[in-house]
Amino acid sequence: MKWMFLSFALLFTGCSTFNKEWSAATKQAAHTGVNGPWEGEWRSEKNGHHGSLRCVLTQTSPTEFRAHYRAKYMKILRFTYVATLTGRETNGAVALQGSSNLGKLAGGVYSYDAVVTPESFKSSYNSKYDHGNYTMSRPPSVEE
């Protein structure tokens, strides 16, 4: 039982870092391209579970992006994680791919395949135990 508590504690420790990053991103007057805050919902195609999802997307190089996510599970559990995604812009859209190890309790390695435009962020995800999708848009306070 003690190891389970410690595992969940590790998942939740990134929430304050995410909240600071989210607050700074939503205070920016305008967002160009695909960088900045996103919010929406994730949905499992395997079991129907779903929850809210937020992300701060930051381009770190011409072909690399840092996606800092905060997801809700069962309406009360929140966890954050970071995924490094690679891709390039083509015709106003950025096709991104990558993966992140969320740990054994959260399903292990998840892979992502996304298409992001300045108005929408759509992705599929896959892991050993689950697969689904998520759709996000700009939060109302930062819509262009």
Residue ranges per structural domain of the chain: 2-142
Domain covering 2-142: architecture: Beta Barrel (2.40)
Q: Tokens 């759509």 identify what position?
A: 122
* Nearest by Cα to 54 from 25, 32, 33, 27: 25
Helices (H), 13-133: 15-27
Percent of the chain at pLDDT exceeding 70: 85
Rg, Å, the chain Cα set: 15
pLDDT (mean) for 98-125: 92
pLDDT at 39 over 90: yes
Please tell me the least confidently modeled range out of 1-15, 27-41, 55-69, 125-139: 1-15
What does the pLDDT read at residue 17? 86
Spatial distance between the Cα atoms of 16 and 72, rounded to a whole number of angstroms: 15
85: tokens are 């995604």
What does the pLDDT read at residue 83? 94
Q: How confident is the model over 52-101, as pLDDT tens digits? A: 999 999 999 999 999 999 988 777 778 888 999 999 888 889 999 999 99
What does the pLDDT read at residue 141? 63
Q: Which string of b and e fits 41-66 if b means at least 16 CB within 10 Å?
A: ebbbeeeeebbbbbbbbebeeeeebb
Spatial distance between the Cα atoms of 76 and 62, rounded to a whole number of angstroms: 37
**pLDDT tier for residue 5 given thresholds of 50, 70 and 90:** very low
What does the pLDDT read at residue 144? 43
pLDDT at 131 over 60: yes
